[in-house]
């Protein structure tokens, strides 16, 4: 297999990683990385490892340079005939690129350095750092668990598993970077709309050149000056160019993508919008791949009766306490108290079902249901 220049080798990423960090004793692991289980790394040692190994960040996937895209559009298709317009587009693109807002990268991890826990940017983590993870935190790197109690992680964004997976000091080490490398190296061919536009460009270009050359020869044979014949040639060719084709197609696809974004469907490639209309079946291997890993209480069963619950976005009706049975009251009380999920602060004015929470997905569903139908769960606890 020929490896493309500058691209990672897929076979290398698929090979099994040989490591023993998850098998050796903790003391030997600490000695190997010159770390301490109680005090962590010293600042000097951390800086040394950071300079040696680099930052704890994933390399962004390689993209086609903008100047190559510019050259392809400048010297191909209709852009050859409209190069003045292309230059104006490049100037507008340059202004837009300068003013674009880049997403923030202020992810913070809690690390033990010099015997004290500090907040550190995840990009500055090094091998041997002792990290503390709490409920609701993001895992900042591939880590070895030293001590944990009922520790579960949400891998739905990586594996599609909707249920949180248990982790313990005896678990295997993850490899987030390898999964990201495999996912970002996928290749895709031309979309149907791209092939149709390319075919249309070739067809119209051929017709325009044929008509232009024909009228150039006719004008020359009729005795017109050669410069006048050239003007006929250029005028007919330019007149046959649909200048608004690219702009019209782009605007239509952008408006469609914007409407899909309002339905929580993010379109990364505008050309993919055209093919979505012919999609009849979507096959997925796991739950969570196409969902948000959000659960909602739909039914309750008590007193040998199945009760249907309100699952709408605005379903925040409170039941009348006077008509609620003792069994239902006990069920809601257990769901509220035997629950470790919590609402994140500062969301008093946000709809209950739209509030952000920390905890297990099923417990979050119970928490929101109890908050809607039982009252303020935090005060009741």
Instruction: Say which residues have a Cβ less than 8 Å from residue 10's Cβ, sequence separation at least 6.
Output: 182, 185
Q: What's the start-to-end Cα distance of the chain, in Å?
A: 62
CA distance linking residue 167 with residue 173, whole number of Å: 10
CA distance linking residue 349 with residue 372, whole number of Å: 14
Please state the separation of Cα 361 from the chain's center in Å. Answer: 20
How many angstroms separate the Cα of 310 from the Cα of each of 72, 118, 134, 294, 317?
Answer: 55, 44, 32, 16, 8
Which residue in 57, 37, 50 sits closest to 105, CA to CA?
57
| DSSP per residue, 22-36 | TTS-HHHHHHHTT--
Which residues carry out catalysis? Answer: 285
Torsions phi, psi for 182 (to 5 deg): -70, -40
86 membership: H or E segment, kind and range:
helix 83-98
Residue 99, CB-side half-sphere exposure with 13 Å CA sphere = 6
The DSSP bridge partners found for residue 109 are: 120
Q: Which residue has the tokens 């791209």?
A: 194
CA distance linking residue 207 with residue 83, whole number of Å: 20
CA distance linking residue 381 with residue 375, whole number of Å: 11
CA distance linking residue 349 with residue 215, whole number of Å: 71
Please state the separation of Cα 153 from the chain's center in Å. Answer: 18
């Amino acid at each position: 297999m020929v490896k493309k220049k500058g691209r990672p080798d897929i076979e290398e990423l698929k090979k099994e990683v040989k490591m023993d960090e998850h098998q050796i004793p903790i003391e030997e692991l600490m000695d190997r990385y010159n770390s301490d289980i109680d005090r962590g790394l010293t600042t000097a040692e951390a800086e040394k490892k950071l300079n040696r190994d680099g930052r704890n960040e994933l390399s962004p996937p390689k993209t086609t340079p903008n100047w190559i895209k510019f050259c392809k559009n400048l010297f191909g298709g209709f852009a050859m005939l409209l190069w003045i317009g292309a230059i104006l587009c490049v100037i507008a693109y340059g202004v837009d690129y300068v003013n674009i807002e880049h997403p923030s990268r202020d992810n913070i991890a809690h690390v033990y350095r010099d015997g004290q826990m500090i907040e550190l940017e995840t990009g500055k983590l090094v091998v041997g750092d002792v990290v503390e993870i709490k409920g609701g935190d993001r895992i900042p790197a591939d880590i070895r668990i030293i001590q944990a109690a009922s520790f579960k992680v949400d891998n739905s964004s990586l594996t599609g598993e909707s249920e949180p997976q248990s982790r313990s000091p005896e678990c295997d080490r993850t490899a987030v970077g390898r999964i990201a490398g495999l996912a970002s190296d996928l290749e895709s061919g031309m979309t149907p709309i791209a092939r149709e536009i390319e075919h249309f460009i070739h067809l119209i270009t051929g017709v325009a050149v044929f008509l232009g050359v024909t009228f150039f020869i006719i004008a020359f044979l009729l005795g017109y000056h050669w410069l006048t014949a050239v003007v006929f040639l250029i005028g007919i060719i330019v007149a046959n160019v649909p200048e608004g084709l690219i702009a019209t197609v782009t605007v239509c696809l952008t408006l469609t993508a914007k409407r899909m974004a309002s339905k929580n469907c993010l379109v990364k490639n505008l050309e993919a919008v055209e093919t979505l209309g012919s999609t009849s079946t979507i096959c997925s291997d796991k739950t969570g791949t196409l969902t948000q890993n959000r659960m909602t209480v739909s039914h309750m069963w008590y007193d040998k009766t199945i009760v249907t619950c309100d699952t709408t976005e605005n379903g925040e009706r409170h039941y009348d306490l006077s008509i609620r049975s003792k069994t239902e009251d006990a069920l809601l009380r257990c769901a509220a108290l035997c629950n470790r999920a919590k609402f994140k602060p500062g969301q008093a004015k946000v709809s209950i079902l739209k509030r952000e929470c920390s905890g297990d997905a099923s417990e979050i569903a119970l928490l929101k249901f109890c908050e809607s139908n039982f009252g303020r769960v935090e005060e009741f606890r």
